[in-house]
């Protein structure tokens, strides 16, 4: 069973496993259904996350933006930030 049991008694579990991931559903005693999907075993939640140069914010090389703006949450170096005077991290 999963860590979702704090919501109530699980009366049925349905799972489906494929090359693109694992889908789970639990039917609770109160009639609610909890559903979630997980990546395939050994894969990360988002493509590229295990790459040492993965940067989810911008196109700067490396794992972090070169000039992250605290006001707009964009990168001033990649021209995502349009703030007149960016507050850089």
Query: Both 55 and 86 in a single domain?
Result: yes
Same domain, 56 and 87: yes
Going by the DSSP 8-state scheme, the letter that residue 68 receives in this structure is: B
As for how many domains the chain has, the answer is: 2
Residue 40: both structure tokens together: 């395939």
- pTM (predicted TM-score): 0.43
Q: What is the pLDDT of residues 45-80, one digit of tens each?
A: 666 666 766 777 788 877 778 888 888 888 888 888
Q: Which domain holds residue 22?
A: 3-38
Q: Are 37 and 23 in contact (CB under 8 A)?
A: yes
Residue 59 placed within a domain: yes
User: Per-residue pLDDT for 17 more than 60?
Assistant: yes
Whether 46 is in a domain gets the answer: no
Question: If you average pLDDT over residues 33-39, what whole number do you get?
Answer: 89
Q: Would 76 be classed as within a structural domain?
A: yes
DSSP string, 31-64: S-EEEEEEPPTT--SSTTTTSTT--SS-S-SSSS
Backbone angles phi, psi at 68, to 5 degrees: -80, 125
58 and 87 housed in the same domain: yes
Torsion from C-alpha of 46, 50, 24, 36, nearest 10 degrees = -40
In a domain, 60, yes or no: yes
Q: Has residue 44 been placed in a domain?
A: no
């Amino acid at each position: 069973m999963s860590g979702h049991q704090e919501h109530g008694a699980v009366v049925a579990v349905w799972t489906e496993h494929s090359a693109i991931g694992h889908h789970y559903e639990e039917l609770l005693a109160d009639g609610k259904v909890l559903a979630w999907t997980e990546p395939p075993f050994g894969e990360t939640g988002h493509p590229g996350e295990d790459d040492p140069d993965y940067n989810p914010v911008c196109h700067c090389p490396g794992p972090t933006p070169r000039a992250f703006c605290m006001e707009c949450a964009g990168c001033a170096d990649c021209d995502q930030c349009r703030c007149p005077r960016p507050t850089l991290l």
